[in-house]
Amino acid sequence: MQRLNLKRRQRDYCPWGKRLFMLYNLVRPIVIFLLKIFFNFKVKGKEVFPKNKPFILASNHLSNLDPIVLG
């Protein structure tokens, strides 16, 4: 019986996964920069989020940009 390697990330299973991950890492800083220029938004309370632990961030989407900003 073959053991499953549960430590592999989902992007390792998809042939486009590594390319999309690299694209995400390239585009994310650009989008953050543009959002800071064109929109005046501030993040309040980010110090309460754990640095090295997973957490769930829930939003009630007050605008159409919320999914982009939170992603």
Q: What is the pLDDT of residues 40-49, one digit of tens each?
A: 777 778 888 8
Dihedral Cα 58, 60, 64, 69, nearest 10 deg: -30
Are 53 and 66 in contact by the 8 Å Cβ rule? The answer is no
Q: What is the pLDDT of residues 19-71, one digit of tens each?
A: 777 888 888 889 888 888 887 777 778 888 888 888 887 777 777 777 777 76
Nearest to 34 by CA among 62, 63, 68, 2: 68
Domain segments of the chain as ranges = 10-70
